[in-house]
Amino acid sequence: MDEPQKQPIEETPVETTNKTEEYLNNWKRERADFLNYKKEEARRIEEFVKFANEDLVLEMMELVDDLEIVAKEVPGVGLEHVVKRFSELFKKYGVERISVDGQFNPALHEAVDTEKRGTKMIEVRAGYTMRGRVIRPARVKLTK
């Protein structure tokens, strides 16, 4: 039988140490990348869970809009209490109504009608934020 031939060592101890350090550094970089990926995925999942019911809330807002209109048109029916309960429910889940007092803010308000150089806002449709993010801007009419 043929005996396997021994190959001479071509690398010096310094080269071997350098390669070992290179492999170790590559492993450390990959480990750090993986940990960053895990953190990013956890953040994405948290964000998804936080806003998972946004569509349902938007549908409920349409109902609240209708109830508010009917409550204004036909006072004394008791719809104000229902609207108040919806507001409490929204608040419980981090949904807050956007204020139309003060300055017009294009990040929060949508101007649907303006009079010349209007500064006062009249709410046409309520807007809402959910956990600090605008999910529906307030539609306003700007008047003098």
The tens digit of pLDDT for each residue in 102-119 reads 888 889 999 888 877 667
Instruction: Decide if 108 contacts 81 (C-beta within 8 A).
Output: no
Mean pLDDT of the residues in the chain: 88
Has residue 1 been placed in a domain?
A: no
pLDDT at position 2 over 70: no
Has residue 111 been placed in a domain?
A: yes
Residues 58 and 42 in one domain: no
Residues 131 and 84 in one domain: yes
Is 140 exposed, middle or buried, given 0-12, 13-18 or 19+ CB atoms closer than 10 A?
A: buried
Beta bridge partners of 95: 130
Residues 77 and 139 in one domain: yes
Q: What pairing do the DSSP bridges indicate for beta strands 133-136 and 95-97?
A: unpaired
Has residue 2 been placed in a domain?
A: no
Residues 67 and 99 in one domain: yes
Instruction: Decide if 111 contacts 86 (C-beta within 8 A).
Output: no
Number of domains in the chain: 2
For helices 79-92 and 54-73, what crossing angle results, to 10°? 160
User: At 63, which CATH number?
Assistant: 2.30.22.10
